[in-house]
Amino acid sequence: MIAVNEVHKEYIDGETHVRALRGVSLKIEGGEFLSIAGPSGSGKTTLLNIIGCIDNADSGDVDIDGDRVGGKSKKELTEIRRAKIGFVFQSFNLIPVLTAYENVSMALSLLGVSDAENRERTMALLAEVGLEGMEHRRPSRLSGGQQQRVAVARALIKDPLIVLADEPTANLDSTTGEAILKLMKDINRHRGTTFIFSTHDQMVMDYGDRLCRLHDGLIESDERRSA
Amino acid sequence: MSARPYRNGRTRGGFFLALAMKNLARHRRRTVITAGAIAVGVAVFIWMFSILQGFEAENDRNMSRYETGDAAIMGSGYWDERDTFPLDMPVEDPEAILSLLEAEEIAAAPRIAFRGDLIVRYDPFPEDGSLQRAFYGIDIERDSRVFALSEAIEAGRFLEPGNEEVIIGRWLADQLGAEVGYPVTVTTRTRDGFYQIMDLEIVGIFNTSNPFINRHKAYLPIAVADEYLEMRGAVTAVYLSLPGMLPADADPGPVRELLSEFDGIEVLGFYRLNEDFAEVMEMENAGTAIILILLGIIAVVGISNTMLMSVLERENEIGMMRALGVRDGEIRWMFTFEAAGIGLIGAIVGLILGALLVWHAVAVGIDYGVLMEIEMDFRFDGVLYGVWHFTSMIAAAVFAVLIAGVVALVPTRRMLRRRITDSLRHS
Ligand SMILES: Nc1ncnc2c1ncn2[C@@H]1O[C@H](COP(=O)(O)OP(=O)(O)O)[C@@H](O)[C@H]1O
Ligand SMILES: [Mg+2]
């Protein structure tokens, strides 16, 4: 479903060249719950950004849904992200002037879903992520964990092909972080949504059904684990 | 996949409009200050435009009511030589023209304009003993149909036909120390070039709203002028009052048509008669334009600064939205809506403020009394009144909203050129 093939990425920052990815290959099937683990600077963010079509590889291919991403225009990539990819960010990144409900329904508005359907789906999903009764709060009146639940709902609402979560627990305490992981895993079980999340936290990476270890821009190990 | 699989403009457009309006409330102080700058710009524009229009209207009215009428019939070539007050290119047979015009119910007044030296006797006087002034022989009855001079008599009375008498302006009277009843001597030349001396009595002093008249002109009965200047019935011009709300609206075309049989004359419209002012008005307009451009720059700098701050401080948010698949065009619209919203607040407040200023300018006016001490060719007196000019008011408001919206594109464009990953790392 998603195929990453021999992807290289180098950053040039003045005199220094940083080889963030040095030939990464990875196949992700629908319904997987994949954790990408590695120390800081190992290339996790770079890999997720390339899979998420917000960054491009220097060489190598990424196929999404059988569709080669390399060579597509900025506009085409925008449309792919709009319809098929959900993001969860480390720092939640909600729009502060919008309520929880509006932050989530925004993603459906972008797809032109009618207000009635949008409302129904958004309310149901907010309840599913445990935010019933908090729909009309703005982010400033939500805890970090609650905000990240809104972000998860925002990523999920459009039934994306894949949800990419770059260190989704890094700004949360361990209990709250675990709860978010549990939530994502539940959704993965229920709905069959594909998740890739990155972390450098041992406890968190253990949630993955499959664990890829990244080190210095190379995949060090790739193992499936029984739930 | 196809580039744009989903279309539902209303839902999306509505979303970004709503978001933009919410973003307006993020920094209330900043929004208020920027909108305030725009409001001041809009209000000052509206006010200046009102004053300028009032000034032009008053100038036109004073020209029309005291000097040029709405149109004039003159001997061919006379207009170009008017500064020398020639008597040798007159309208030879005014009565024929007048009866034709009057049959068509067009108000017309013949006048004989000439230059002469005015001497007030029995009075201490400047060394050279005289002042050069313009004199007009006027047809007492007909003159009032075109001009308002007879309504402006402040002391004494208006002229009576055939008497050897003169009326002068208040300003000139004060300069000369003259009063009603004083005898004056006017020396001039006849149509044939001979020296002539007239002894006249000041019977009235007028004070019109046209300061130029009050300073520079004196009037006497046309029969007296005709006799002393040996005009043999000819006049230097026949002035017309034409229908139309404003002098500038008057169309001399029909009169031209009516008089096409007559040789040696031309019909001059109001624009032609006011061509001296066209240039000055243009300069005046250019000055106003410069002020307006300055105000516009203040508003543009204000809004672009505000929008730049908004865009920069929301870099992370913009990166997030782009990652979620929000199109560049939608982000542009969002910031354009936001800036136009600031523009709209400014425009509405500016309209209200501007309307108050115009109301004051219309009702109370602006006292230019001090300026009047300076010799000016403009025909307005002391207080300047504004006029209501709704088109300019609406135009100013619409312009403010549009400009604000367009200005927002600059910082947005700059932001959209950044890479999404760079924007996301920014926090
Ligand atoms: N925009 C950039 N410019 C320069 N170097 C970068 C940039 N982004 C990432 N890097 C470098 O690339 C390497 C991989 O970074 P990243 O993918 O963010 O790793 P991780 O998410 O695992 O911490 C790091 O050494 C990082 O400093
Ligand atoms: Mg990272």
Considering every ligand atom shown, identify the ligand nearest to the alpha carbon of residue A89 and give its number. 2
Please check the confidence at residue B10 and state whether its pLDDT lies above 80: no
Q: What is the pLDDT of residues A24-52, one digit of tens each?
A: 999 999 999 999 999 999 999 999 999 99
Per the structure, the complete domain to which residue A179 belongs is given by 2-224
pTM assigned to the model: 0.82
Of the candidate ranges A110-114, B295-299, B397-401, B420-424, the one whose mean pLDDT is the lowest: B295-299
Ligand 1 centroid – CA B422 distance (Å): 11
In angstroms, the CA B353 to CA B227 distance is 60
Write phi, then psi, for B268 (nearest 5 degrees). -105, 130
Residue A97, classed as helix, strand or coil, is coil
Question: Span A55-63, mean pLDDT?
Answer: 94
Residue nearest to atom 3 of ligand 1 (CA): A11
Q: How many domains does chain A have?
A: 1
Residues with CB under 5 A from ligand 2 (ion): A 45
Is A110 part of the contact surface with chain B (CB cutoff 8 Å)? Answer: yes
Residue among B355, B336, B339 at smallest CA distance from B396 = B355
CA B332/CA B410 separation, integer angstroms: 10
Strand partners, A9: A21
Q: Where are the domains of chain B?
A: 5-62+278-425, 71-241
CA closest to B315 among chain A residues: A93
pLDDT value, residue B278: 75
pLDDT of residue B5 exceeding 50, the answer is no
Which residue type, as a one-letter code, is found at position B248? A
DSSP 8-state class, residue B91: B
Percent of chain A's residues with pLDDT above 90: 90
CB contact under 8 A, B320 and A93: yes
Residue predicted with more confidence, A61 or B13 = A61
DSSP A93: -
Q: What's the gap in Å between the CA of A122 and the closest CA on chain B?
A: 15
- pLDDT grade, residue A100 (50/70/90)? very high
* Residues of chain A contacting B317 with CB distance shorter than 8 Å: 93, 95
Supply the pLDDT for residue A77: 96
Whether B316 and chain A come into contact, CB under 8 Å, resolves to yes
**pLDDT 10s digits, A132-166:** 999 999 999 999 999 999 999 999 999 999 999 99
Residue with CA closest to ligand 1 atom 12 = A20
* Torsion over CA: B66, B68, B72, B76 (sign): positive
What is d(CA B205, CA B159) in angstroms, rounded to the nearest whole number? 10
Strands A210-215 and A33-37, bridge-based pairing? parallel
Chain A residues lying within 8 Å of B323, measured CB to CB: 52, 54, 81, 87
Could you give the CA distance from residue B373 to residue B276 in angstroms, rounded to a whole number?
21
* Min distance A22 CA to chain B CA atoms (Å): 19
Domain of residue A97, CATH code: 3.40.50.300
Q: Which of A154-157's residues contact partners 24+ apart within 8 Å by CB, and which partners?
A: A154/A86, A154/A94, A154/A103, A154/A104, A154/A106, A154/A107, A154/B324, A155/A86, A155/A87, A155/A88, A155/A107, A156/A86, A156/A125, A156/A187, A156/A191, A156/A193, A157/A104, A157/A105, A157/A107, A157/A108, A157/A121, A157/A122, A157/A125
Instruction: Evaluate whether B333 touches B16 at the Cβ level (below 8 Å).
Output: yes
Packing angle of the helix pair B315-323, B328-363 (nearest 10 deg): 130
Contact A79/B at CB under 8 A: yes
**Cβ contacts from A onto B, under 8 A:** 92
Q: Smallest Cα–Cα separation from B277: which of B76, B66, B63, B49?
A: B63
Which residue from A93, A97, A118 is facing B26, i.e. has the nearest CB?
A97
ipTM exceeding the 0.85 mark: yes
Distance A161 CA to ligand 2 centre (A): 22
Taking Cα atoms as reference points, which of B242, B2, B9 lies closest to residue B106?
B242
Q: By the CB < 8 Å criterion, does A49 face chain B? A: yes
Mean of pLDDT values over B169-174: 90
What is the phi-psi region of residue A112: left when phi exceeds 0, alpha when psi lies from -120 to 50, beta otherwise?
A: left
Angular region, B352: left φ>0, alpha ψ -120 to 50, beta rest: alpha
CB atoms within 10 A of CB A54: 24
What ranges in chain A are assigned the alpha helix state H? 44-51, 74-84, 100-109, 115-128, 144-156, 174-191, 202-205
In angstroms, the CA B332 to CA B111 distance is 67
